[in-house]
Amino acid sequence: MKLKAILVITALLLGGFYYVSQGEPQELFLPIIPKPQSIEHTAHKTVPINFDFELSGHDKTIELLNSLMTKTYGHSFKSTSAGAKLSFDLVDSLTGPEGYSLDVSENGIEIKAEDEAGLYYGMATFWQLFTHHFDSGKPLPFVKIEDKPRFKWRGLMLDEGRHFQGAAFVKDMIDWMSLHKFNILQWHLVDDQGWRIEIKKYPELTNVGAYRVPAGEGARAILDPATGEPKKIGGFYTQEQVKEIVAYAAAKHITIVPEIGLPGHAQSALAAYPEHGVNLSGKMDVSADWGIFEYTYNLEEKTFDYLEDILLEVMDLFPSEYIHLGGDEVQKNQWKEDPRTAQRMAELGIETVEGIQPYFTRHFDQFLSKYGRKMIGWDEILEGGDIHKTATVMSWRGEKGGIEAAHKGHTVIMSPWPTLYLDMHQSTSEREPTGRPALASLTPLENVYMYEPIPKELQGTEGAHFVLGAQGNIWTEHMRTNNQVMHMTFPRAAAISEAAWSSKERDFNNFMQRLPALFNWYNKLNIAYADVAFEVRPNITAPDDEQRIVSLSSQLDVGAIHYAINKESVSASDPIYTDPLTLNKNDTLITSRFKGDQILSAPTSLKLDKVSLSMRTDDTLEVCDAGYHLKLDDDYPESKDRASFNMNILHPCWIYKGADLKDVKTLELVVGQIPFNFQIGADWKHVKFDTPTSKDGELNIYEGVCEGKPLLSLSLTPALGNHGLTNFSADLPKTFDGATDLCFKFARPAITNFGIGHNLWGLDKVTLR
């Protein structure tokens, strides 16, 4: 009995457990994500599983299970009395809302819940267990799981204002979220770069506001054959599509909360109806820039009527308790400088410009309340006060806004930058897509997983009860493709789901052990997830011209690193890495991390000759200075893979640290250009370039430091008309005995404004020959 007690305690701590079979302890691991609140081993027996079950109980849940099985295995369960019993039953009293119990025993597999959401989550847990055990050829053990969510709000936000993903992808996202036991999708449908929802009373919102010409000369060179004009990108959802998606989400127990931002982030709406802006005249385009814009709604009565009309149609489409009204990053310059705004302020009793946004907030808070809805806004809605206690604050500028709101009696959703912002890079891998790679704000999987939704300042206080939960935000400025969205979202979404569902006490090491099973589920669901946390990263030293010493590691340490030398691939049957490898210069090393036979990351292939080791990309060069550090897509071609540039947009400058120039005669360089389409306020005046010596500009290469007389200066004329990448080759003007730093900077006329022709040059690759 003592041994059994110890093993059960181990189970509760580690998320798996041990059971006794024929007198010997054997490990039984249940890789469920998010981790259930309670797992107990009830007997030393198992249930064999296949596709034959005696199905009974809640028909809708059984239908959803079979749909999931068809999607992931190609066929559904066959209901037959020859199989084990699998039942789904609603009961009057159990674990509470959204909770469930799952019992594997002599009676078969029984899943019970108080509500349909709980049955669905029990079904999701069963699917995980079935997949893990069926794929490994193991029967299901007798277990009893009792589970319920810690928080009411378990959300992801999908930004479609920036890039339109389409109904099929949104439905896929809903499926994936529901299997992680998320229950809220905040749908960011409106922003400066696009209006994505049909409003029947105002058709120009989508006729005009849903489409834009992408920034950049390359993108503008792609012509629409129907018009001969630059091709526009974008799209929107009809009201029928919205209703269908809302119903689809409800069937998976996800509530869609629409976000219609005001009074800022309004450029796409004002491009369609400029009369609702501040002192606008003439045509304005939907923005193709990124950043924070000055355009805001004005204070005219007809503008408030217009916005109320929009919200009435939105409320007809979305039955959610909450409507998100944005309220973030509102710029006040246009209000300050507009005489008509001053006149309206006097009429409305608004004493200062800072009082305009609170006026908007209070007005639409009251408007939504009149229709039985509650407002959510980003934490800026606290400014000015006097909003209903029913209004909910989404804390994004760290946790400060959420703490303040909870102390004031407002419900709070914690969604702080950068930890829960999924546009932040999660590693330094070269395979990271476009996004925000700044080392100071990386959000690796462990940081996301260990986030605690109740801030320390609220723990143990009444304010803790006002925290509804947590939400991850998928901002898509730099996610042009759906594959990029998936990479940046998964598996970090799994970490968020566990932070919001499971108990406060979490064990990241245990979570890591469950990730291989999660990746198997992702493969079945066709999720293009990020495996970069397991990517093997080499560290190479060359003690002489012939040998290389290679050390291998990865961000997460699960399973073992296997390696192969001079082979086309690596497998789990290849040697396990234990100590640094001594190899020769002609070898090619290929390596990856495995858990058993399962490969956890795309293999890393490494040629060890001097030229291959000398090559640096923009990802492996050092970026000069702090500033706006981004990884950005090229603007060309339209549909094929594009180059990307890791750079500081305020100072496009790269350093090759310790370049071994001994015996090197030539530098080979690859450069490209991207549009300067960043709304960064007055900071655009401070973008640093070298002063050009010709009208086309140069690429300057410095020795040791990034100033003085360049070692080399290459004319950019050959690259000017090329929308893609351009190759350069240059002989070094002198010989070197060893290593030195090389600095690469572009010389070009200063940027004087935004728009076509104001491009940034980017360095893509450097090779020493």
The pLDDT value given to residue 488: 98
Q: Which of 113, 147, 181 is the last residue of a domain?
A: 147
pLDDT bin (cut points 50, 70, 90) of residue 12 is: very low
Examine the domain organization and report whether 504 and 622 are in the same domain. no
Least confident piece of the model among 410-414, 681-685, 715-719, 731-735: 681-685
- Nearest CA to 160 out of 202, 203, 194 is that of 194
List the domain range (segments joined by +) for residue 141: 2-147
Is pLDDT of 2 > 50?
A: no
Answer yes or no: are the C-beta atoms of 515 and 584 closer than 8 Å. no
pLDDT exceeding 90 applies to what percent of the chain?
87
| Chosen domain end from 571, 587, 608 | 608
pLDDT tens by residue, 17-73: 333 333 333 456 899 999 999 999 878 899 999 999 999 999 999 999 999 999 999
254 & 388 share domain: yes
728 CB burial (10 A radius; 0-12, 13-18, 19+): middle
- Residues of 411-426 as b/e, b for ≥16 C-beta within 10 angstroms? bbbbbbbbbbbbbbbb
Whether 274 contacts 280, CB under 8 Å: yes
What's 463's domain CATH number? Answer: 3.20.20.80
Low-confidence winner among 77-91, 246-260, 670-684 (lowest mean pLDDT): 670-684
CATH code of 14's domain: 3.30.379.10
| DSSP secondary structure string for all residues of 499-560 | HHHS-S---HHHHHHHHHHHHHHHHHTT-----GGG--EEEEE-SSSSEEEEEEE-SS--SE
For residue 580, pLDDT over 60 is answered with: yes
Q: Give pLDDT tens digits for 317-329.
A: 999 999 999 999 9
CATH number for the domain spanning 668: value is: 2.60.120.260
Cβ contacts of residue 336 below 8 Å, gap of 6+? 353
pLDDT of residue 20: 33
Question: Is pLDDT of 423 > 90?
Answer: yes
Q: Are residues 241 and 336 in the same domain?
A: yes
- Do 522 and 493 share a domain, yes or no? yes
Q: What is the pLDDT of residue 26?
A: 45
What's the CA gap between 341 and 300, in Å, rounded?
9
Confidence category of residue 752, pLDDT binned at 50, 70, 90: low
Is the model more confident about 758 or about 219? 219
CATH code, domain carrying 558: 2.60.40
Tokens of 93: 């009293």
Residue 725 has a pLDDT of 96
Check pLDDT > 90 for residue 592: yes
pLDDT, residue 8, reads 39
Residue 487 to residue 495: CA distance in whole angstroms: 14
Q: What is the pLDDT of residues 529-554, one digit of tens each?
A: 999 999 999 999 988 889 999 999 99
pLDDT in tens, 498-522: 999 999 999 999 999 999 999 999 9
Look at the alpha carbons of 276, 235, 470, 329 in this order and tell me if their dihedral is positive or negative. Answer: negative
Q: What type of residue sits at position 490?
A: F
pLDDT in the model for residue 195 = 98
Residue-wise pLDDT for 632-665, tens only, equals: 999 999 888 899 999 999 999 999 999 999 999 9
pLDDT for 126? 98
| 245 pLDDT above the threshold of 60 | yes
**Active-site annotation holder among 329, 430, 446, 457:** 329
Residue 236 has pLDDT above 50, yes or no: yes
pLDDT confidence of residue 508: 97
Q: Are residues 701 and 630 in the same domain?
A: yes
Name which residue leads in pLDDT, 384 or 23. Answer: 384
Model confidence at 359: pLDDT above 70: yes
- Integer CA distances (angstroms), 22 to 19, 26, 45, 164, 579, in order: 10, 10, 11, 58, 39
CB 699, CB 761: distance < 8 Å: yes
Count of structural domains within the chain: 4
Around 195, how many Cα atoms within 13 Å sit in the side-chain half-sphere?
26
**pLDDT tens for each residue of 444-489:** 999 999 999 999 999 999 999 999 999 999 999 999 999 999 999 9
Give the tens place of pLDDT for each residue, 259-298: 999 999 999 999 999 999 998 877 889 999 999 999 999 9
So what's the pLDDT on residue 560? 98
Q: Which of 147, 163, 195 is the last residue of a domain?
A: 147
User: What per-residue confidence (pLDDT) applies to 757?
Assistant: 52
Is residue 547 domain-shared with residue 680, that is, in the same domain? Answer: no
Residues 126 and 240 in one domain: no
Quick check: 723 and 219 in contact, CB under 8 A? Answer: no
Q: Are residues 545 and 663 in the same domain?
A: no
**Both 370 and 395 in a single domain?**
yes
Neighbours of 479 (CB within 10 A): 25
* Mean pLDDT across the chain: 93
CA 748, CA 697: separation in Å to the nearest integer?
Answer: 5
402 with 516, same domain: the answer is: yes
Whether 16 shows a pLDDT value over 70: the answer reads no
Residues 210 and 177 in one domain: yes
Phi, psi for 677 (deg, rounded to 5): -120, 60
What are the angstrom distances between the C-alpha of 257 and each of 89, 182, 186, 531, 607? 29, 13, 5, 30, 50
Give yes or no: 308 in active site: no
- Does the pLDDT at position 181 exceed 70? yes
Place of tokens 């200063």: 750
* Helix, strand, or coil (residue 636): coil
The SS3 call for residue 152 is coil
Q: Could you please report the per-residue DSSP string of 676-689?
A: --EE-GGGGGG---
Question: Which helix (H) or strand (E) covers residue 208, if one does?
Answer: none
Question: Do 372 and 520 have their domain in common?
Answer: yes
Does residue 4 surpass a pLDDT of 60? no
pTM: 0.94
Predicted confidence (pLDDT) at residue 6 exceeds the cutoff of 50: no
Q: Is 160 helix (H, G, I), strand (E, B) or coil?
A: coil
Residue 758 has pLDDT above 80, yes or no: no
Listed in sequence order, the residues at least 6 apart from 208 whose beta carbon sits closer than 8 Å to its beta carbon are 271, 272, 286
Q: Which of 110, 179, 101, 180 is nearest to 147 (CA)?
A: 101
φ/ψ (deg, to 5) at 431: -85, 0
pLDDT value at residue 25: 37
- Cα gap 692→119, rounded to integer Å: 67
